[in-house]
Chains A and B, each alone.
Chain A
């Protein structure tokens, strides 16, 4: 049996203290608070009533549904589009670094600022998008002010914002593929398609697995995008409310931290399970 070096603990001590104080303790505190009710200044133990409340609250279910919808649609779409874009930049386009920088720009811009610009693009009356749609005689929906369109708008916005990070990471991975593979493939007369599916994709699997994990976790924590796109509310009639939006609202606005923490614990468990399943899946694919 291996034992850890005793001295190592000493060196790890500062990190252990900080991590337990600022990461572990908050998690435990959240867990404890989820069983308490009342305002922050006067918390009382109530048992599982907070959990009972959130599971009967239609708003909570809508928040979960929206979050799952977002994760299931926006993440894979964004990933597919970014693989396509990264591969195009990598294999077909000159001035790679210029395009790479261009695609990375959104990542260094604040989401709130992007949201303001997108509010103008999506505006139903004088938005750029609807102007273009009308030009080609397509129906021009009211992206921002129609509750049934709000999730679609959010997902489109989410896909756009997550492209930047994905492309840069994928470009790095593409560069790391041994060029000899391609040289060899060329010698044997492989087509572009074959090269992509037989060489590029298998080599990209670890990177894609990483991006998928990060993106899915990010999708479950989505908040800023909603706030920015709908001007400080969660869509019309809260139609685009998400899990974190629900938590923030209950904690800060309504003043029921217990309910917020119960929702946090549920969200934590969901992310845990999803990440676990996903890792299992990716391991199987990678094999």
Chain B
């Protein structure tokens, strides 16, 4: 018995220790260093650490842009650290927030990932930097960054981020096939349905008309076009919501619409001529081009909706860095969103330029390698982004799961019960 008692005593002692450790943690409040002045020049050797999730062509372009910057600013060294794809990057940031000294100077991120960090004052408000004449542009309007994109990089109204690698959704279509069947490229959701029906019929049910890569975006933008913002107040079983869901579900039941399923993206089935059109990210054009090869001609058109989703990450700065590091990091950010950098970046990667000057530059618009630039002005008139509130990111992710369940049900029969079940999940995702 003595041994078991010893174990019990040790366990209790350990628990007590844990309790005190947890309490003491709450006691010490995190000190947010309020950098008083922004240095006008980088006078000392300074290192900036940048966490990113860019691979392949994206990473190599980022590397070459960075070395251009380092040549112009010999005092600054930028350490690029690849953290894996977005989900990995998010997980890494989440777990490193516990030990702020291990955080990078700047990171790519969606604002929704950093909602908690902003609340704990771990991010730098970039407004003073934007307004600074030496390090920044002097004012937000002088930066020439698209205002929708810039406001998308705020958390609770504070400008914590600067948009960098942004994309929107576009309609990619099989031009050869559409011409063969005499189908016009759809401009509205109603036209998308009729075009899809026609293709499905004329191909003897061999080719599915259309599909959406991101079901979350499909739902959120469908609702936004009806004037409803994504929030916990959305009535998932309401008539507007139901009509958005039913539009897609009916198409799936009849066979002229489909989803990407476990393939995640429709560019694969599109290249194999299993689907004639799909709505996906403009940054995915490279995959389309590679898959299609010389099998047929593909085309790119604006997303057939009023609103378009602005996707992709912004760059955020953590507050633990020194004043000099922050200034150097901001100079680097400024360089990345400059006109020439953005044109190079957009042409090589398929992301959209974040400044108006770059977007309208002939070097970008007349691009021979990409079909996106020519359509961009038309499809970025009304941009929407997932609102940054508590649990909005979780709810947005949950929508994908809910839609998948509903649409899978639609293939078999009545999907009303799936919508009701979806409401419970949607509502509970806002209460975590």
Residues of A within 8 A of B (CB): 1, 20, 24-25, 28-29, 32, 36, 38-45, 53, 56-59, 119, 125, 144-148, 230-233, 235-239, 250, 252-256, 259
Asked whether, in the complex, the Cβ of A29 is within 8 Å of the Cβ of B18, the reply is yes
Asked whether, in the complex, the Cβ of A53 is within 8 Å of the Cβ of B432, the reply is yes
Nearest Cβ distance between residue A250 and chain B, in whole angstroms? 8
Known: A1-B2, A231-B262, A239-B405. A253 touches B116 (CB 8 A): no
Asked whether, in the complex, the Cβ of A253 is within 8 Å of the Cβ of B394, the reply is yes
Q: Which residues of the partner chain B approach A253 to less than 8 Å between Cβ atoms? A: 87, 90-91, 394, 397
User: Please, could you name 8 A-B residue pairs with CB atoms under 8 Å apart, sorted by A?
Assistant: A1-B2, A41-B116, A41-B120, A42-B120, A147-B408, A233-B264, A237-B406, A254-B391
Nearest Cβ distance between residue A136 and chain B, in whole angstroms? 24
Q: Which residues of the partner chain A approach B91 to less than 8 Å between Cβ atoms? A: 252-253
Asked whether, in the complex, the Cβ of B262 is within 8 Å of the Cβ of A255, the reply is no
Per the bound structure, the CA–CA distance linking A230 and B116 in Å amounts to 30
Most buried by A among B14, B116, B117, B401: B401
Q: Which residues of the partner chain A approach B90 to less than 8 Å between Cβ atoms? A: 252-253
- Which stretch from B93-101, B175-183, B240-248, B373-381 is at the chain A interface? B93-101
Asked whether, in the complex, the Cβ of B402 is within 8 Å of the Cβ of A125, the reply is no
Asked whether, in the complex, the Cβ of A236 is within 8 Å of the Cβ of B264, the reply is no
Q: Which residues of the partner chain A approach B97 to less than 8 Å between Cβ atoms? A: 39-41
Q: Which residues of the partner chain A approach B142 to less than 8 Å between Cβ atoms? A: none
Known: A25-B14, A253-B87, A255-B116. A40 touches B98 (CB 8 A): yes
Q: Which residues of the partner chain B approach A45 to less than 8 Å between Cβ atoms? A: 22
In this complex, what residue of A is CB-closest to B261? A145
Q: Which residues of the partner chain B approach A59 to less than 8 Å between Cβ atoms? A: 425
Asked whether, in the complex, the Cβ of B122 is within 8 Å of the Cβ of A233, the reply is no
**B428 on the interface (CB 8 Å rule)?**
yes
Nearest Cβ distance between residue A268 and chain B, in whole angstroms? 15
Asked whether, in the complex, the Cβ of A233 is within 8 Å of the Cβ of B262, the reply is yes
Nearest Cβ distance between residue B113 and chain A, in whole angstroms? 8
Most buried by A among B90, B117, B408, B431: B408
Asked whether, in the complex, the Cβ of A236 is within 8 Å of the Cβ of B408, the reply is yes
Per the bound structure, the CA–CA distance linking A160 and B178 in Å amounts to 44
Asked whether, in the complex, the Cβ of A41 is within 8 Å of the Cβ of B432, the reply is no
Per the bound structure, the CA–CA distance linking A211 and B317 in Å amounts to 50
CB < 8 Å neighbour of B19 from A32, A41, A147, A250: A32
Asked whether, in the complex, the Cβ of B98 is within 8 Å of the Cβ of A41, the reply is yes
Asked whether, in the complex, the Cβ of B87 is within 8 Å of the Cβ of A144, the reply is no
Number of interface residues of B (CB under 8 A): 45
Which 10 pairs between the two chains have the least Cβ-Cβ distance?
A237-B405, A145-B261, A39-B116, A237-B404, A252-B91, A144-B262, A254-B394, A147-B408, A238-B401, A41-B97
Asked whether, in the complex, the Cβ of A40 is within 8 Å of the Cβ of B117, the reply is no
Nearest Cβ distance between residue A14 and chain B, in whole angstroms? 17
Per the bound structure, the CA–CA distance linking A258 and B310 in Å amounts to 32
Asked whether, in the complex, the Cβ of B424 is within 8 Å of the Cβ of A58, the reply is yes
Q: Which residues of the partner chain A approach B22 to less than 8 Å between Cβ atoms? A: 32, 36, 43, 45
Asked whether, in the complex, the Cβ of B264 is within 8 Å of the Cβ of A231, the reply is yes
**B41 on the interface (CB 8 Å rule)?**
no
In this complex, what residue of B is CB-closest to A248? B91
**B57 on the interface (CB 8 Å rule)?**
no
Known: A32-B19, A236-B261, A237-B404. A252 touches B95 (CB 8 A): yes
Asked whether, in the complex, the Cβ of B425 is within 8 Å of the Cβ of A58, the reply is yes
Most buried by A among B14, B97, B262, B404: B262
Per the bound structure, the CA–CA distance linking A53 and B405 in Å amounts to 22
Known: A25-B14, A32-B18. A237 touches B94 (CB 8 A): no
Q: Which residues of the partner chain B approach A53 to less than 8 Å between Cβ atoms? A: 431-432
Known: A41-B120, A147-B404, A237-B401. A231 touches B263 (CB 8 A): yes
**B274 on the interface (CB 8 Å rule)?**
yes
Q: Which residues of the partner chain A approach B119 to less than 8 Å between Cβ atoms? A: 42
Nearest Cβ distance between residue B410 and chain A, in whole angstroms? 12
In this complex, what residue of B is CB-closest to A149? B408
Per the bound structure, the CA–CA distance linking A231 and B262 in Å amounts to 6
